Each structure stands twice: as structure tokens, then as C-alpha cells.
Amino acid sequence: MSNSVSGERLWTLDTASATAIKAVGTEVVVRAIEFRPAAVDDDLVIQEYDSAGTARTAISMKADHAAAEPIYRDFGPDGRRLNGFIFVTLDAGSAIVYLGKG
């Protein structure tokens, strides 16, 4: 499977890449993320761009070292505003990204 980012409210991600899903200067509002790790200690890292245009870690999630159970992070009604969006690390598993309004 490959990343599905055509939805206005929901993205399904399973393939990490250094290539941006959304470019610098494009606001992405992340309302919540559900990380479904495939194994213990799996990692997920999402980057955004800083004011100088350099990619920096914005969201990081890690599966427990004893059990690969889903992790849900809610960023509240206003969401987490990112400048661009790079799904740079995924050891295994998938992520469901719920998008908010910009």
C-alpha cells in the first residue's frame, strides 16, 4: 500500500519518505493522529519547516517496548498547525492523520 493523502479530513500513511507531502509554506492542521505500530519500539516522526525553511521534528511517537498497541494523540479543537508536512520516519505499521480546518 502507499500513502493516501487525497482526503480533506483524513490521511492514511504507511510509507515514510524525505519528500514532503505538503511543501514549505503550506499550512497543515493536524487534529489527531492514530499510530498503529506493527512491532514493539516502532517509531513515527513527522517534520515541518522552520522559519528558515529547514525541516525540523514536529511530532514524534514511539510504540511501547512491551506491546505494539495503537497510540492516539489528540491536539485539541484547534489542532497542531504545521508549516508543510514530511512523513520522514515509520519503522513499520501505519498512521491515520485526522486533519482540521486551517
Within a domain: 37: yes
Q: What letter does residue 78 receive in the DSSP assignment?
A: T
Which residue's entry shows cell 515514510? 16
Write out pLDDT tens, residues 47-69.
999 999 999 999 999 999 998 99
**76-80 mean pLDDT:** 94
Within a domain: 1: no
Grid cell digits, residue 99 = 486533519
Q: What domain count does the chain have?
A: 1
Within a domain: 2: no
Within a domain: 54: yes
**30-38 mean pLDDT:** 97
Report the CATH number at residue 83.
2.60.120
Within a domain: 34: yes
Within a domain: 4: no
Instruction: Note down the domain range covering 26.
Output: 10-99
Q: What letter does residue 20 receive in the DSSP assignment?
A: -
Is the pLDDT assigned to residue 11 strictly greater than 90?
A: yes
pLDDT of residue 101: 82
pTM of the model: 0.93
Grid cell digits, residue 30 = 493536524
Grid cell digits, residue 47 = 517534520
Instruction: Judge contact between 92 and 48, C-beta under 8 A.
Output: no
Instruction: Judge contact between 46 and 58, C-beta under 8 A.
Output: yes
